[in-house]
Chains A and B, each alone.
Chain A
Amino acid sequence: MALLLCRGIRMYPPLLNYAAFLRRKSHVFYCAMSTTEAQTATQGSQSTPIKISPHRKEKGLDDVLKDYEAIIGIETHVQLSTLTKAFCSCPYHYGSQPNTNICPVCMGLPGALPVLNSKVIECAVKLGLALNCKLNIKSKFDRKQYFYPDLPKGYQISQFDVPVAYGGHIDLDLPVEFGGGHRRFGITRVHMEEDAGKLLHSGNGRVPLLEIVSEPDMRNGIEAAEYAAELQRLVRYLGVGNGNMQEGSLRCDVNISVRPIGQVKFGTKVEIKNLNSFSSVNRAIDFEIVRQALLLSEGQDDQIVQETRLWEEGSQKTVTMRKKEGLSDYRYFPEPDLPGVILTKDYVDSICNCLPELPEVKRRRYEKMGLSMQDILFLANDVNVAEFFDATIAKGADVKLAANWIMGDIAAYMKNEKLSIDDIKLTPQELAELIASIKGGTISGKIGKEILFELMAKGGTVKGMIEEKDLVQIADPAEIEKMVDKVLLDNPKQLEQYRGGKTKLQGYFAGQVMKASKGKANPGLLNKILLEKLNAKS
């Protein structure tokens, strides 16, 4: 049934491999469906239970979902971690009155004024450019006004009608395990604002944020989750923030509506908050699609109201947080305390010239290098891994071999030791050396692996380690021949059996020779000589 479920969700854009899509959906929707079942099982405790008629149950969720499509847009808040303060510049000399260790600006004290840190603009321009946006050469700040205890001034400094960047897009490749495929989602705007949701007593001041608003281009949970993941990637590639979702450094608010396929009018929009991971983005959306589609199919359209819902990780469902009573009037007006932001061409050019290679460009480059999409995504997903890989191949390492080492033994080691690639002691230079040593026959692959773990844990050089441990491969046929002769001499019984037809014993002899060589014998050469000797006198 899980496999069939996905047919209800129309694909977008339709250029992907359909079979792969099904595989992916079957995987993803398994979660969604099981939670749906959990929900229907506990519907008695819900204030607005979703009634599924017997007929409907017979028909199955998949039949319901196939008639509906979801429209998903995401608002993402990115905390700029390179700075501690956006709109204050705390004086360090305070009086002796209470609260003096908190900056007057972040406290919203009478007489305090916001001052914009120019780094915020730099980050905004970087991200705007990376998102292929157009930049507003002249933008401004506005005040968004409402009362809230976390909002000391009674307003939030934001950008209303003239954001710093607008009209861009983001490219991404869906993970292979979810079916793969390339996507392009529109970016409506990027704007700067102060963080209104931060508690005051942190003493860190109002952390600057960039808000990125997407076009409603996503159609299911995995697309939305991958959109957020790509945004995180960009933030990390650009170095504008740490993008950590658990800490709230990257927060996603999802807007979702469901409508019958073919209907032009959008369904009622619901906002989902409290999404702390990409997987919760994915699961919350798929839960919400099912919830709304079921209500629509039951004719209970009026049960879908414009509201903010919270994703509950424990129960794996969304619950009402607050219903919106009409539109809030934030009474925006231009912030008189901050001058307008004017971007000169030179300024934008200087930032443009310093942008790193972005994930999309990197992926396309890796693709041209002949790597598989699975390899590409693994390497390009983490900017540090990508840098390590690039540095390794810059030292002349074989592309495919370097990818294999990084994705295989190195990744496994990092995972076990809970380390990032920057923490391990192995350098790209030495990985390249290791690969070359194996390829050139200096050491065997087996020895290479052993050295690798030592290099990762302790550091050092490949050459040093080979010399120190006398690990150079024995590739001299005469020497190997000597060892073979000795093994054959020492095992007359087995030799007799072999010659009597028990040819499987070849492996036994090979193992004995390898043991005698302390693993250093060139395996190809060993086998060749061994065979010659074994068969010579028969």
Chain B
Amino acid sequence: MLSATAHSQLCRLRPVPALKPRPLTAAAAAASSPLADQSPPSTPPPRPSPPRSQILTLRRSLLARETTAVQLAESYLARLRLVEPRLNSFLHVSDSVLREAQAVDDRIGRGEDVGPLAGVLVGVKDNICTADMPSTGGSRILEDYRPPFDATAVRKVRELGGIVVGKTNLDEFGMGSTTEGSAYKVTANPWDISRVPGGSSGGSAAAVSARQCMVALGSDTGGSVRQPSSFCGVVGLKPTYGRVSRYGLMAYASSLDVIGCFGSSVADTAILLNAISGHDRYDATSSKREVPDFISQFTASNTLEDKPLEGMRVGLIRETLGSGVDSGVVSVINAAASHLEELGCIVKEVSLPSFSLGLPAYYILASSESSSNLSRYDGVRYGSQAVADELSSLYGVSRAEGFGSEVKRRILMGTYALSAGYYDAYYKRAQQVRTIIQKSFKAALDENDVLISPAAPSAAYKIGEKKNDPLAMYAGDIMTVNVNLAGLPALVLPSGFVDGGPSGLPVGLQMIGAAFDEEKLLKVGHIFEQTLRGHRFVPPIIEDDNTC
């Protein structure tokens, strides 16, 4: 149950408490999507086998010369093009994928060493800078903007042989939970194209889910990697704040932003995290902590003991299963808790009384920082510039035309919260709440190895359902924002389904670890994933595609 304050908080922020998505009829699906006639069959065959690492499989077959990077890239690009008209995951697709794949093949042909990501096709959220492609942040104000540099995470991916397949759609500057906030297009959920993929990294989640790329980079300020992972049935990892350099990530809320990873398996997610982690002299907030080899601790599924997680202490956060949370989601999380118990974990409920305070604190802090971070988009040096007679109207018109409504709303809220006379009541108080939340998580993680909760109060909802109700959309972030406020790592794992769409809608389990303990999260997540029985990991949109 939610505490009294939590409950009132939720009610205040979300006037419409019914979060359970309406059952989707065929007619509704057809009505809500012009592409409904291209929908996959409504009763696909189940795919019960646990996901294999696409990256390791590729590497094995490349090194054994069973396949080439070019062949693989061609098959992914073919699928990308096939489903893209229905999904709209990408804002830009690279035109050099095959050329880069050929370079990988050439190196292998010459017997040279290739990096651990050789030939791996990586989607990159469009708020992460890439030197050879546009980077718009999903905003009109950066239309056609081409950065002169690669973000550190992108540079590292490329240095290890990865190929950036394209730039994925997002809510403008990462502000939103549905990807409907993009200035360019609305991305659909591969499990039901009448539904949102979540956000703000909805394009990356959808692209990985529909196997348009192998892995993808996203960013997570308040849940923007984890919630879309849950909605799209993929693995999503929000690393500890400071684990991955933010250099080249267009800042939304600098003290909360992290670049995160999407994969179709825990192993792929871990390999991508390995690639992008570590200190960066261009980001003063990046950590100098050593980066462990995240997958070296993985146990092959065929060698698992009876109770591979014996003694692991798991805390189920009580406040995340109360009213306002879809009953189907609660069932999935309870089943996941039972599954963890079967694996040997000791699962106990833990209470984080400050949990419900996270949402208002998050929206004040994130808006405040965004109001500052977005002031550089003034139309003076880059991006779209309005025609104006004098300076202040140049600023005004460029910004009025360049920003979408959600971005403007947050700039206004943030400017208000930082204004003289309001600072103490809003910004300062929210910082105090943040400290309380950090302490309560620390205490809970001293008692437990990991904490679990849903990644979102519901599965994916319909496109347009919350578009005009920002408070309802904000309320959907209740499960994730606390983790950003505390700066902790969290992993979202596909763990079950609720009714809806042609074949059910995925629900993710959120697993929260201590700061810089991604290794444990990934190890536990890998075992959880490999022992999950009867779970479908491939969405209906590509189910008849035998190549994935």
Give the interface size class of chain A: 35 or more
Q: Is B137 an interface residue, CB under 8 A from the partner? A: yes
Q: How far is the CB of B80 from chain A (nearest CB, A)?
A: 25
Residues in B whose Cβ lies below 8 Å from that of A338: 284-285
* B395 CB contact (under 8 Å) in A113, A147, A332, A336: A147
Please report the C-alpha to C-alpha distance between residue A312 and residue B129 in the assembled complex, in whole angstroms: 47
Stretch with Cβ within 8 A of B (4 or more), from A87-95, A173-181, A399-407, A503-511 = A87-95
Interface residues of A in 508-529 (CB under 8 A from B): none
Please report the C-alpha to C-alpha distance between residue A154 and residue B376 in the assembled complex, in whole angstroms: 5
Interface residues of B in 235-285 (CB under 8 A from A): 246-251, 253-255, 281-285
B interface footprint on A138-179 (CB within 8 Å = 1, 0 otherwise): 000001010101001111000000000000000000000000
Known: A110-B142, A111-B249, A113-B247. A154 touches B147 (CB 8 A): no
| A331–B250 touching, CB < 8 Å | no
Please report the C-alpha to C-alpha distance between residue A111 and residue B154 in the assembled complex, in whole angstroms: 12
Please report the C-alpha to C-alpha distance between residue A143 and residue B371 in the assembled complex, in whole angstroms: 12
Q: Is B184 an interface residue, CB under 8 A from the partner? A: no
Please report the C-alpha to C-alpha distance between residue A89 and residue B283 in the assembled complex, in whole angstroms: 10
Please report the C-alpha to C-alpha distance between residue A333 and residue B147 in the assembled complex, in whole angstroms: 28
| B284–A97 touching, CB < 8 Å | no
Residues in B whose Cβ lies below 8 Å from that of A333: 368-369, 372, 418, 423, 427
Q: How far is the CB of B283 from chain A (nearest CB, A)?
A: 5
| B415–A331 touching, CB < 8 Å | yes
| A111–B129 touching, CB < 8 Å | yes
Q: Is B419 an interface residue, CB under 8 A from the partner? A: yes
| B378–A336 touching, CB < 8 Å | no
Closest to B249 in A: A111
Q: How far is the CB of A193 from chain B (nearest CB, A)?
A: 16
Closest to B132 in A: A95
| A89–B281 touching, CB < 8 Å | yes
Q: Is B146 an interface residue, CB under 8 A from the partner? A: yes
B interface footprint on A102-121 (CB within 8 Å = 1, 0 otherwise): 00100111111111100000
Interface residues of A in 63-109 (CB under 8 A from B): 89, 91, 93-95, 97, 99-100, 104, 107-109
Please report the C-alpha to C-alpha distance between residue A111 and residue B132 in the assembled complex, in whole angstroms: 15
Known: A110-B137, A113-B247, A115-B281. A336 touches B148 (CB 8 A): no
| B372–A95 touching, CB < 8 Å | no
Known: A97-B146, A111-B251, A113-B247. A329 touches B420 (CB 8 A): yes
Residues in A whose Cβ lies below 8 Å from that of B391: 149
Closest to B382 in A: A109
| B282–A91 touching, CB < 8 Å | yes
Residues in B whose Cβ lies below 8 Å from that of A331: 371-372, 415, 418-420, 423
| A115–B284 touching, CB < 8 Å | yes
Please report the C-alpha to C-alpha distance between residue A305 and residue B370 in the assembled complex, in whole angstroms: 36
Residues in B whose Cβ lies below 8 Å from that of A99: 148, 381-382
Known: A104-B147, A115-B283. A154 touches B131 (CB 8 A): no
Q: Is A409 an interface residue, CB under 8 A from the partner? A: no
Residues in B whose Cβ lies below 8 Å from that of A93: 149
Residues in B whose Cβ lies below 8 Å from that of A155: 372, 375
Main secondary structure of the interface of B (DSSP, over half): loop
Known: A110-B135, A155-B372, A155-B375. A97 touches B148 (CB 8 A): yes
Residues in B whose Cβ lies below 8 Å from that of A337: 251, 254, 283-285
Q: How far is the CB of B392 from chain A (nearest CB, A)?
A: 8
Q: Is A477 an interface residue, CB under 8 A from the partner? A: no
Q: How far is the CB of A152 from chain B (nearest CB, A)?
A: 6
| A116–B372 touching, CB < 8 Å | no
Q: Is B380 an interface residue, CB under 8 A from the partner? A: yes
Closest to A333 in B: B418
Q: Is B128 an interface residue, CB under 8 A from the partner? A: yes
Q: How far is the CB of A115 from chain B (nearest CB, A)?
A: 5
Residues in A whose Cβ lies below 8 Å from that of B377: 110
Please report the C-alpha to C-alpha distance between residue A100 and residue B129 in the assembled complex, in whole angstroms: 14
| A104–B149 touching, CB < 8 Å | yes
Residues in B whose Cβ lies below 8 Å from that of A111: 128-129, 135, 147, 149, 151, 246-251
Q: Is B145 an interface residue, CB under 8 A from the partner? A: yes
Please report the C-alpha to C-alpha distance between residue A113 and residue B250 in the assembled complex, in whole angstroms: 9
Closest to B150 in A: A95
Q: How far is the CB of B280 from chain A (nearest CB, A)?
A: 9
Please report the C-alpha to C-alpha distance between residue A111 and residue B382 in the assembled complex, in whole angstroms: 13
Q: How far is the CB of B425 from chain A (nearest CB, A)?
A: 14
Please report the C-alpha to C-alpha distance between residue A453 and residue B85 in the assembled complex, in whole angstroms: 88
Residues in B whose Cβ lies below 8 Å from that of A143: 372
| A145–B284 touching, CB < 8 Å | no
Known: A91-B149, A110-B145, A111-B128. A147 touches B375 (CB 8 A): yes
B interface footprint on A341-384 (CB within 8 Å = 1, 0 otherwise): 00000000000000000000000000000000000000000000
| B284–A339 touching, CB < 8 Å | yes
Closest to A155 in B: B372
| B282–A89 touching, CB < 8 Å | yes
Give the most central of B142, B371, B382: most A CB within 10 Å. Answer: B382
Please report the C-alpha to C-alpha distance between residue A112 and residue B371 in the assembled complex, in whole angstroms: 17
| B285–A154 touching, CB < 8 Å | no
On B, residues with C-beta under 8 Å from A are 128-129, 131-132, 135, 137, 142, 145-149, 151, 246-251, 253-255, 281-285, 368-369, 371-372, 374-378, 380-382, 391-392, 395, 415, 418-420, 423, 427
A sample of 5 cross-chain residue pairs with beta-carbon separation below 8 angstroms, ordered by A number, consists of: A97-B147, A99-B382, A109-B148, A111-B129, A154-B372
On A, residues with C-beta under 8 Å from B are 89, 91, 93-95, 97, 99-100, 104, 107-116, 143, 145, 147, 149, 152-155, 327, 329, 331-333, 336-339
Q: A111-B247, A333-B423 are in contact. List 17 more A-B contacts (CB 8 A).
A: A93-B149, A94-B148, A104-B148, A107-B382, A109-B148, A109-B149, A110-B250, A111-B129, A113-B282, A143-B372, A147-B375, A152-B376, A331-B415, A331-B418, A333-B368, A333-B427, A339-B285
